[in-house]
Amino acid sequence: MTIMGVREEKPGVRVALTGNESIARGALEAGVAYAASYPGSPTAEVLGTLAKVAGEHDIYVEWSVNEKVALEGAAAASFTGLRSLTVMKADGLNVALDFAGALAISGCRGGMVIVVGDDPAAHSSVREEDSRNLCKVIHLPVLEPSSVEEAMDMTREAFSLSEELALPVVVRCVTRVCHASGDVKLGKIARTEREPEFQRGDRVITFGIALHAMQEQKLTRASALFCKSGFNSYTGPQRAQRLIIASGPSYMYALEALEMLDLSRETGVLKLGTTWPLPESLLLDYLINASEVVFAEEVEPFVEDNVMALAARHWKDIGSITFYGKRSGHVAGPAGPGIGEMNPDILAGSLSKITGAAFKSPVLSGRKGALELLGEKMPGRDLALCAGCPHRASFWSIKTALELDGRGGIVLGDIGCYTLGIARTGYHILQTVHCMGAGVGIAGGMGKLDRFGFNRPVITVVGDSTFYHAAVPALINARYNRSNFMLVLLDNETTAMTGHQPHPGRSSTATGEPADTVHMEDIIRGIGIPCSLQDPYDVEATIDVICRMLQQEGPRVLILRRTCALAAVKGKQKNRVYVDGKRCIGDACGCGRFCSKVFSCPANIWDAESGKARIDEAVCNGCGVCATLCPRQAITVERTV
């Protein structure tokens, strides 16, 4: 993680970069002029990195309100001939898809690269979508780096490819590439010297089927170019009968697996860096000699299905091949074929099944192996909201208010840190979670079901960044159609989940320049919806206002505003919070270890030795909420200010 490395001017130098920094560097080397993104893991750091160097390279960098708007802005730059970059996670491509699909027809001018971060195993996502399928649907070419260095090289080259095809190019990067650090050999940073131009009479239009035919021609050309691309390579014996076709980091796993099984001499590996459209003639060159083909890729059998379709078209020439992969069930992780990540062990296990080569699965494999090795030494660890997280207090208040209300109210969720409301850390309070902003739309529907006899109070929670991103149209709809629900806006004044990026409610932009703040209260009241404000750290008052607002009708909004606990203490001295051992009476109290077991802030721990509650001061962020909830008032907060 070195911005120094990204900044390094001297070509040929080798530096260590993360995959995301490497993508940023690749864009710099391509002379990118305009970069826009909405933060999403695993690619959230790409734009942040570019923002840090924006000034010195005179590039425009923005955090956009959502991915569609980001892509539209980047397209504008491309229409004028500038090179532009958009970065999003797979879910973001869904948001941007309508425009992306149209853009794929109209085409672009200046090189335009869309970096899409896929998250196999859904480490920090609600699903593990394989965006390559969507790229195929909308006719965009896809490059897939298998290493940190390749992420840089591919990003850089994708700009030229885009200009050659007059089509945006997708660089599909998975979490293991984005978040890994690796050694990269730098190229030369290019300064953009282009003058943007979009004259009267210039036209970039999506209309009719003539353009569809052109689009198909562009892909045919791309396929031809890909057959000669250096991103596709072959290692192994000549005329290998057993061929592995691998893309992304699965290529590395395949090499490792072959070594483990001592199969390298007899097995060929065809690395596919350009996964859509397929480099057909290149593939046929290798398929013609093969009698067994194994596919290694994440997540869905994308290359597999398309190569099998290619082989079917050419079966007369290439003869009979047995295909091993997700469809045949041979290449599968513990959760089943096409589900979760690949790794060398999974591939080695698959190859062992296919070839009969001996493979003893290592003891330390997956969760089961870890449990075997560590046994009771490692307690189970839930996903948890951070110490002092205002969402924890908000969820406790919502839970309490709904119990007090007694009408069986329901709570709908959305995307952000607070999605953890589905788990124990959020008291399992959230009952629906889908995608950005969906909770508000679903609430709008729930709030219209009274005529059918559905009379439960409806609460939906949404974060500040998600509110700007996708909740506003649903709120307008609710007002217009007189839906009946309460929106609780969990405003922690940042896009916390992805690393504290700013959003339209903040006073500065991605590059730290002053911004015109768009206040959420103004939007909500402008729509004509009543809006109250409350500090969630004051649990009692929050419960009170939620109880009161539950009694009201129509759409209404409660903003629970409190800065993210991590952002609030950054660079400041934290309040000291401690348990008074005289007041805490441990298990003699009727609370059943409320602070550590139920409220469950990670800073509230149980001291087995004294049989009393304790604060883990290293973890505690000093919010003091637990002190207000302890029934014995045994927790003291020493305020630093």
Residue 598 lies near other proteins (rule: CB under 8 A)? yes
The alpha carbon of 108 is separated from its chain's Cα centroid by a whole number of angstroms, namely 26
Strands 274-276, 531-534: pairing kind: unpaired
Q: What is the rounded distance in angstroms from the CA atom of residue 144 to the CA atom of residue 153?
A: 11
Among 371, 383, 404, 518, binds other proteins (CB under 8 A): 404
In 3D, which of 433, 442, 429, 421 has the Cα closest to residue 400?
429
Residue 356 lies near other proteins (rule: CB under 8 A)? no
Residue 565 CB, nearest distance to other proteins (Å)? Answer: 21
Identity of the residue, 467 or 594, whose beta carbon is nearer to other proteins in the bound complex = 594
Residue 617 CB, nearest distance to other proteins (Å)? Answer: 22
Among 513, 592, 618, 639, binds other proteins (CB under 8 A): 592
Amino acid at 225: L
- Bridge partners, residue 224, by sequence: none
- Binding-site string for other proteins from residue 136 to residue 175, where x marks contact by CB under 8 A and - marks none: ----------------------------------------
Residue 3 lies near other proteins (rule: CB under 8 A)? no
DSSP-assigned letters across all residues of 114-164: EEEEE-GGGTTSS----THHHHHHHT--EE--SSHHHHHHHHHHHHHHHHH
Q: In what order do the strands lie in the sheet with 169-174?
A: 60-63, 34-37, 84-89, 112-118, 169-174, 142-143, 274-276
Q: What is the rounded distance in angstroms from the CA atom of residue 391 to the CA atom of residue 496?
A: 11
Identity of the residue, 254 or 558, whose beta carbon is nearer to other proteins in the bound complex = 558
Among 599, 600, 625, 627, binds other proteins (CB under 8 A): 599
How many residues belong to the site for other proteins (CB under 8 A)? 26
Residue 108 CB, nearest distance to other proteins (Å)? Answer: 55
Stretch that binds other proteins, among 42-50, 321-329, 393-401, 416-424 (CB under 8 A): 393-401
Identity of the residue, 185 or 424, whose beta carbon is nearer to other proteins in the bound complex = 424
Residue 454 CB, nearest distance to other proteins (Å)? Answer: 21
Stretch that binds other proteins, among 103-111, 263-271, 318-326, 401-409 (CB under 8 A): 401-409
Cβ count near 554 (within 10 Å) = 15
Residue 586 CB, nearest distance to other proteins (Å)? Answer: 11
Residues 419-458 touching other proteins, rule: CB under 8 A, are 427
Residue 526 lies near other proteins (rule: CB under 8 A)? no
Residue 544 lies near other proteins (rule: CB under 8 A)? yes
Q: Where are the beta strands (DSSP E) in 350-436?
A: 410-412
Cβ count near 139 (within 10 Å) = 19
Residue identified by tokens 């060398």 is 344
Among 266, 285, 405, 580, binds other proteins (CB under 8 A): 405
- Bridge partners, residue 143, by sequence: 171, 274
Among 403, 522, 617, 638, binds other proteins (CB under 8 A): 403
Q: What is the rounded distance in angstroms from the CA atom of residue 532 to the CA atom of residue 488?
A: 10
Residue 538 lies near other proteins (rule: CB under 8 A)? no
* Distant-in-sequence, close-in-space partners of 72: CB < 8 Å, separation ≥ 6: 99
Tokens found for residue 63: 């955090």
Residue 633 lies near other proteins (rule: CB under 8 A)? yes
- Binding-site string for other proteins from residue 572 to residue 591, where x marks contact by CB under 8 A and - marks none: -------------x--xxxx
Question: In the complex, which residues of this chain contact other proteins (CB under 8 A)?
Answer: 399-401, 403-406, 427, 543-544, 547, 585, 588-592, 594, 597-599, 629-633
